[in-house]
Structure 1
């Protein structure tokens, strides 16, 4: 966990008022530890992502929630696919072959 001051010190381009606004707007999740705002490693990475979007890529402030929601959905889909892939790998060879064949048929039907 990193406190507010650590986050600001570790991300030089980050403006305190921006971070506080993102906290109020629930773009980042804040935990409270010993009466001060603190951030998990995941939230710290999210803050860095928001900084990249906002400062480097000039994504408008009003657009950030939409972009972050889409990225969250993409991340969730990736996690589900990872879980599904491991479930398929745990199956016997006939099931794995059937899944691979179904995927191949789907690809072929999209092409033509």
Structure 2
């Protein structure tokens, strides 16, 4: 999807603003034929930034921190999903041992 198609999805986002988001690294489309190619994940990122800026009034200064924290949450969720899939391949005994350790760890007081 080219930039004009992305802009058509967001009537209140101007080309200069979207260009700035790309230049700041907040959105990372592919470069092709001298133009940016936005994949589905890039459009989702534009939607996220749009919503944070317009609906939640996240300032431009705070946006990098918010995006970084959200990226960390998404990465952690993906990692947990991978661990769960790996755990599903283990024996029932191993699964129970891991579950018991997780429960015990959560109950221990934190320093």
Partner of 1:33: 32
Rounded to whole Å, the distance in 2 between the matches of 1:30 and 1:101 is 43
Residue in 1 that maps onto 2:88: 89
For these two proteins, the number of residue pairs brought into alignment is 110
Question: Residue 110 of structure 1: CA displacement?
Answer: 4.3
User: Going by fraction, where is helix more abundant, 1 or 2?
Assistant: 1
Quickly say closer, same or farther: Cα 1:103–1:32, change in 2 above 3 A.
same
* Alpha-carbon RMSD: 1.4
Give 3-state SS (helix, strand or coil) of 1:62's partner. coil
Quick one: higher RCO (CA 8 Å, sep 6+), 1 or 2? Answer: 1
Name structure 2 gaps, 5 residues minimum: none
| TM-score of the two chains, using structure 2 as the length reference | 0.91
Please say if 1:77 is aligned against 2:66.
no
TM-score, reference length from structure 1: 0.91
Q: CA–CA distance in 2 between the matches of 1:47 and 1:95? A: 42
Give runs of ≥4 in structure 1 deviating > 3 Å: none
1:57 aligned onto 2:70:
no
The runs of 5 or more residues in structure 1 that have no matched partner are: none
Distance in 2 between residues matched to 1:64 and 1:7, nearest whole Å: 20
